Structure 1
């Protein structure tokens, strides 16, 4: 069974261009399932049925694992069995017959514009490290990039004249994302502090490429330094980017392209329509929004 897991991970890495973080998650979740199978008396993946999968998930629940983690492990099992079915190693995807836990539909956090301004307008970039950190924040908010996409950028990927960045997203899909003048100015200031004109766009003090973990630390540190109470991450800025575009009237499908989502439903979860925007839409559209004598004429 270890060989089948190794083949699946190789498929994810080579054919699906999965990130190292994704590969680690799949490896951990599926290895845990394999450890469960031995005591359950299952010696072959062909012996696994929906009952076995349900017993595995029930054990996770008994141990107190949160529903999101249980759902993630079920998703990993479904992906693995789909791979096995396509390779004709098992007759059917038994994990698809198992219903996952019901997850609360939480709205992920985003920053209002005034807090974005506080985050960005910290002390002037007095040294190379601060110039770099400011450029990271500005580009994350201006482009909505995933942290892995930002970390993977090279200097040549940023067209500073056109104010666009070439991004290699999930599944190896390339897209061009614009950014504004604030991010362009911050990028110019940062690049003016470093000697190398090529290679990784964002580097550490030794000249190596910044990791996603390092970028998360930079964002958290700057948010704390700016006095923001809420927890801020690169993902927060990605949600903020999408929400502010939608709130200003941007088309949802255009936002989908900018974020690099293959499904519009994913983009809908990323965006938050602010209450002010909802009130403007309501006041403009509802016939009885303004009281007596102020009704909106019905359309012809």
Structure 2
């Protein structure tokens, strides 16, 4: 039973129960809210078809995802939809009550690649000089640190903005980076320069920036944390525009569903070159350029491998620790990461 009701509304009582359960299991509310959006779409489909979550078949789930793909949604969006649905049915399977008729083995075999989705341009890492320009164009010391930490440890948007003071170890110059997709974490070594900047931020600048008593590393001026992924996206977008490194890499017209959502007959969805996720791609590219093995890169990025949710990776005793720590040292003469 959920200890706290977070007012989820998917149109499916069992899905709302599932979301409250995972929040009580230390999943961030923002992650659960993302699942809520996906499951609300699924609930509307079931309602139109006159089905309950317990009656649905594999073909009907494929029909729902296929219809979503026809709205010109990205493969990532379809993948997120599919993950939410799979997690819901895994929750139902573990319940002792009525079991769904769905074959969970067949459900697990569905992939976002099965659907015709638009091809998006590859993410392009930043040059070291561009990363420096991005830092210089930020509005304050906090925002500069957000860029530097994102580039040095490869944290996802949510993990970066929800990073806690307790996850920073300035004695060993390590940051414990959370995997916000599947749980788990990884200790990433940081440069001496970043460690000194973080110490200055924590001991001096942070107190002047926000009066909130917050356990988060990067509070906002009015709250204990940056409350949405868009908050960080706006910071990076504005700074990249000022730095002259932002550009549109793809655009498409709104789908019918998006037009209904935005209450407009016209609209264009744009993908920009620089976003918080670009910092993660920059980190990954730096690791590759430094000669780290594919396994070391995968572990550093905490990609979803079999042991991610069970193990706490650490580079503290790895041969790669100094390589990773030195990536951001003495780069003044390098034009490319």
The TM-score, its normalising length taken from structure 1, stands at: 0.73
1:115 and 2:124 matched: no
Secondary structure, in 3 states, of the residue corresponding to 2:206?
Answer: coil
Higher RCO, Cα 8 Å, sep 6+: 2
Equivalent residue in structure 1 for 2:154, among 144, 153, 168 = 144
Which of 167, 179, 204 matches 1:157? 167
Provide closer, same or farther for how the CA distance between residues 158 and 76 of structure 1 changes in structure 2, counting only shifts above 3 A.
closer
Q: Which residue of 2 aligns with 1:199?
A: 215
SS in 2 for 1:26: helix
Q: Distance in 2 between matches of 1:55 and 1:66?
A: 16
Q: Which residue of structure 2 aligns with residue 281 of structure 1?
A: none
TM superposition shift of 1:26: 1.8
Structure 1 unaligned residues grouped into runs of 5+: 267-300
From the CA coordinates, give the structure whose radius of gyration is larger.
1
Match 1:40 to one of 38, 49, 54: 49
What is the alpha-carbon distance in structure 1 between the residues aligned to residue 73 and residue 276 of structure 2?
Answer: 26
Matches of 1:256 and 1:67 in 2, distance apart?
21
**1:243 Cα deviation (Å)?**
0.9
| C-alpha displacement of 1:181 | 2.7
Q: Which residue of 2 aligns with 1:209?
A: 225
Q: Does the aligned pair in 1 maintain the 2:148–2:194 contact within 8 Å?
A: yes
Q: Contact 1:30–1:76 (CA<8 Å) still a contact in 2?
A: yes
Question: Residues 22-55 of structure 1: CA distance to partner in whole angstroms, max 9, x if unpaired?
Answer: 312221222222222233232x333211232233
84 and 248 in structure 1: CA distance in 2 versus 1, 3 angstrom threshold: same
- Give TM-score scaled by structure 2 length: 0.65
* 1:49 equivalent among 53, 57, 78: 57
Q: Mark the runs of 5 or more structure 2 residues left unpaired by the alignment.
A: 1-10, 248-272, 309-337
Partner secondary structure for residue 117 of structure 1:
helix
Larger deviation, residues 149-158 vs 92-101: 92-101
Instruction: For 1:252 and 1:184, locate their aligned partners in 2 and report how far apart those are by CA, in whole Å.
Output: 27
Q: CA deviation at 1:65?
A: 4.2
User: Does residue 28 of structure 1 match 2:37?
Assistant: yes
**SS of residue paired to 1:175:** strand
Preserved contact between residue 200 and residue 208 of structure 1 (Cα < 8 Å): yes
RMSD between aligned residues: 3.1
8 Å Cα contact 1:50/1:97 also seen in 2 = no
Asked whether the equivalents of residues 86 and 107 of structure 2 are also in contact (C-alpha less than 8 Å), the reply is yes
**Aligned residues between the structures:** 258
Distance (Å, rounded) in 2 between the aligned partners of 1:22 and 1:198 = 20
Aligned residue number for residue 74 of structure 1: 82
Counterpart of 1:101 in structure 2 is: 115
TM-fit CA distance, 1:5: 0.8
Q: Is the 8 A contact 2:70 2:116 kept in 1?
A: no
Paired position in structure 2 for 1:183: 194
Shift of 1:101: 0.8
SS in 2 for 1:39: helix
Change (3 A) 1:73 1:228: same
Q: How does 1:136-285 map to 2 (within 5 A)?
A: 136-170=146-180, 171-191=182-202, 192-195=204-207, 199-206=215-222, 208-211=224-227, 212-230=229-247, 231-263=273-305
2:214–2:225 Cα contact (<8 Å) kept: no
Match of 2:16 in 1: 6
- Offset, 1:239: 1.0
Counterpart-to-counterpart distance in 2, 1:168 and 1:65: 28
